[in-house]
Structure 1
C-alpha cells in the first residue's frame, strides 16, 4: 500500500494537528533543513515525542539535508532584466556593477562554457553564457524577469566541484543521531560513494540504525542510478530540482524508470514535489494533481510526499484526505 509522507512546518507543528495526522495514518514526518535550523527542529521534535507518549504510538522522523547550494548575492533592490539583455555574472562581490549579478560559486567561470544555460531562481529565469572573462561571465537573458536577493542558481549539465554533504550537513546529521531521527535524506546524491560516505559517518557516530534516503535530483544522480539504489535504503524522486536540472518533459519518464528500478531492487521509493501544490492556498486540488498522485501510485510508489502543502499550507489535513482517497482509488484497480 502507498503511504503518505508529510513535511513539518508552522501549519502542523502543534499537538492537535500532529494527533490528527497520526490518526489519519501518517507515520513519517520530514524536517526540511533548508527551512529548519537545529533549534527549531529540536523544539518540534520534542513536541512530536510528547504527542507519541500521549498516543502510545510512534512517528519516524526524517531529516532532509540542505546539500550544496549555489545562490546569487544580496540585492537591496531587485533587478529587472528584459529578454535579450546582456549582463555580467561575477564571482567576486566587490566586482559587481549595478546591473550585474554575483554568484557565490567561485568556480563558475571555469566550469561554465559558451552556450551553457544558467537557471536562476529555481529555473524561473534562464540566461545563456555568451562570453567568458577572467572574473565574469557575460550572459543573455532568455526571458524578461525580475531577480530578487539570494536566489537559487542551477547549472544543468555542468559538474560542480562541490561536496554532496557540506560541513553544515554533517553537523545536522550529528544532530539527527542525538535526537531520535530514523531517516536522513541526502540532497543532490551523485553516486553510490556519496551514500557510503554518509553511512560510514553514521557508523562512526552511533547512527548506524538511521536509514539513508537518496534524493535523485540531477543528471549525475540519473547517470549513476543503479549504484545509488544499491547503496541506499530508500530513494526519493525529488522532482523539484530534477525538473530544473533536466528538461521538464523528461521528468515523467525518469520517474517511471526510477520507480521501476526500485521495485526490481526491492527498495522503497518516494515521489515528491508539487503533488498538491495548489492546495497550499486552495481547498480542492486540480484534476491534474489528482491524476499525478493516481499514476504515481499505479507506477508503484511506496510513498507520496506533501511539502509546502503541510508545512505552510492553509489546508494540510484536507491534503492528506485527498491523497488517501486517490490512493484508495488507484489501489482498487
Structure 2
C-alpha cells in the first residue's frame, strides 16, 4: 500500500455510506469537506455519516476564511467576451441582474481598470466603473459565473480582517462537530495561524495552512514553523501570483514543509478531467507523479470526488499513480543525513535504522503527535503505527503519510514499560505479528535531536516468548 495520503472531497456525488466505503477501499485516507459549499446542516449530517461509516477516518473541514466568493445564485449568468456584468455587495440580488459577492467592502476597494478573476482564474473581467455597491465589469473571457466561486483581485490589497466573523462561526462549528483538521485560506503569517489556534483552544482540530498567494510565499518559513500541515492550493496560487511559476512554487513550498517536518498536501485539478471522463490525461498523471517525487505527503481530489461522475475510479487511479511514483522516489532518494536534515535529527536516525536493519514496522509512542509526525516524514518504506492516549489526536495521525493511528488509553506513554505494553496490545490486535522486527520510537520532548529520544529494535516473537504473553489475556486487556 502506498504511503502518500489521499484526501477526497465529499459532496453530492459521494455523500452516502456505500460510496464512502468504496472510496475508502479504493484508497481514500482523509475526507475533506468544503465549508464554502452547502450549509452547516449538510456539513453536520455529512460529518455524522462519515463518523458512522468510517470511524477512524480523519475529517478536514476547509473553512472559507478571507476568500471572496459569489453567493448562492438563483440564476448563474452566462456571457461572451465584451459583455457587461455587475458584481455587487448588495446580497438581495440573485444573479439575474447582478451577482452578489460575500465581502461587504469589495466595492469600496476597486477602481476602473483593475482586473478581476473568478473560478480559479478561468474567468477574467476588467472593472469599467464603480457606483455605490455595484462594480460594473467587462468580460475578457466567455463563460458562466456560478454560485460560490472564488473571486481574486491580485493587484489590490482588499483589506480584509485576519480572522473574519465567518471564521469564528466555522471554528466553533468545527470544534462542536469534532473534525480533525481545519483548512485556513490565504494564510500569510504565523500570526494568522496563531490567531486561529487561539480560537480553537485545544489540541484538535489541527491547522492546515493554505499557501495560495504572494504573502504566503513571502512568509513561507514562519508559516511552516507555526502550522500543523501545509496545503498548496494551486488554483488560487496560480491566479494570485503567476500561473507559469506554479510548479516552481510547489517545489519551494514542499521543500519548506520538509525542512520543518510538516506534512504538505498538493491540491487542485490533479485529475480534473475525471470529473467527466473515466480516464485521466497523461499530463495529469505526470503532474501527480512529479508531486509525489517532489515529496508531497498527500494529494487531494476536489470536484473529482465531490461532483464528478467517477469518484471511486478517480481515487483508485490516484492510488495507482502515487504507488508507482513512490517506488521511484524511494529508489532514488538520498539519505536524509546527507540532505537538509541535521545528522542527529530524529528523522535521519529513524531512516538510517530503517534502511540498514531488517525492520518490518515502526511503532511510535507519541503524546502530542510530534514524534509521529517526524517519523512519518523520514522517507521510509516500512508502515508506521503511531500509538497515543488522545483519541482525537490519534485519529488525526492517520493523515500522516504511511501512518496508522492506534488509540491505547491503557498505556502510559511516559512510563518505562510503555514500549512493552504497547507492543503487547498491538500483538493482541494483530497490528504486529511474531515475525515482525519492530523499531520502537519515543521522543522525550518536542526536540528533533535523536540523542534525546528512545529508539529500540524488538523482535516481537522473541519478546512475546520472554514475557509469556497469552493471546487470550492480551486481547482481553486490549
Deviations 1:228-257 (A, max 9, x none): 111100000011222222221111111111
Deviations 1:14-52 (A, max 9, x none): 222222333344321111111232222222222222224
1:209 aligns with 2:207: no
SS in 2 for 1:128: strand
Q: Is 2:27–2:316's contact at 8 Å kept on the other side of the alignment? A: no
SS in 2 for 1:41: helix
Structure 2 match to 1:329: 324
Structure 2 match to 1:181: 179
Aligned-pair CA distance for 1:197: 0.4
SS in 2 for 1:185: strand
**Aligned-partner Cα distance in 1 for 2:71–2:300:** 31
Structure 2 match to 1:51: 53
Further displaced range: 170-179 or 297-306? 170-179
**Aligned-partner Cα distance in 1 for 2:101–2:30:** 36
CA 267–114 in structure 1, closer or farther in 2 if over 3 Å, else same: same
Structure 1 match to 2:110: 112
Q: Is 2:121–2:235's contact at 8 Å kept on the other side of the alignment? A: no
**Which of 280, 284, 308 matches 1:285?**
280
**Which of 5, 11, 17 matches 2:7?**
5
**Which of 192, 199, 203 matches 2:190?**
192
Structure 2 match to 1:171: 169
Q: Is 1:90–1:136's contact at 8 Å kept on the other side of the alignment? A: yes
1:18 aligns with 2:13: no
CA 288–91 in structure 1, closer or farther in 2 if over 3 Å, else same: same
**Aligned-partner Cα distance in 1 for 2:74–2:39:** 25
Structure 2 match to 1:27: 29
**Aligned-partner Cα distance in 2 for 1:75–1:327:** 38
Aligned-pair CA distance for 1:286: 0.8
SS in 1 for 2:125: strand
**Aligned-partner Cα distance in 2 for 1:167–1:18:** 32
Further displaced range: 72-81 or 157-166? 72-81
> With structure 1 as the length reference, what TM-score do the two structures score?
0.84
CA 34–242 in structure 1, closer or farther in 2 if over 3 Å, else same: same
CA 267–82 in structure 1, closer or farther in 2 if over 3 Å, else same: same
**Which of 153, 156, 170 matches 2:151?**
153
Question: When the two structures are aligned, how many residues end up with a matched partner?
Answer: 324
**Aligned-partner Cα distance in 2 for 1:149–1:48:** 26
Further displaced range: 24-33 or 253-262? 24-33
Aligned-pair CA distance for 1:105: 4.2
Deviations 1:200-220 (A, max 9, x none): 1111xxx33321000112222
CA 282–75 in structure 1, closer or farther in 2 if over 3 Å, else same: closer
Q: Is 1:164–1:190's contact at 8 Å kept on the other side of the alignment? A: no
CA 214–283 in structure 1, closer or farther in 2 if over 3 Å, else same: same
CA 326–124 in structure 1, closer or farther in 2 if over 3 Å, else same: closer
Structure 2 match to 1:229: 224
Q: Is 1:120–1:152's contact at 8 Å kept on the other side of the alignment? A: yes
Further displaced range: 28-37 or 269-278? 28-37
Unpaired runs of at least 5, structure 2: 329-478
**Aligned-partner Cα distance in 2 for 1:93–1:49:** 35
Further displaced range: 150-159 or 209-218? 150-159
**Which of 38, 41, 59 matches 1:39?**
41
SS in 2 for 1:62: strand
CA 82–280 in structure 1, closer or farther in 2 if over 3 Å, else same: closer
Q: Is 1:29–1:60's contact at 8 Å kept on the other side of the alignment? A: yes
Aligned-pair CA distance for 1:58: 0.8
SS in 1 for 2:68: coil
CA 163–262 in structure 1, closer or farther in 2 if over 3 Å, else same: same
**Aligned-partner Cα distance in 2 for 1:77–1:7:** 25
**Aligned-partner Cα distance in 1 for 2:141–2:23:** 42
Unpaired runs of at least 5, structure 1: none
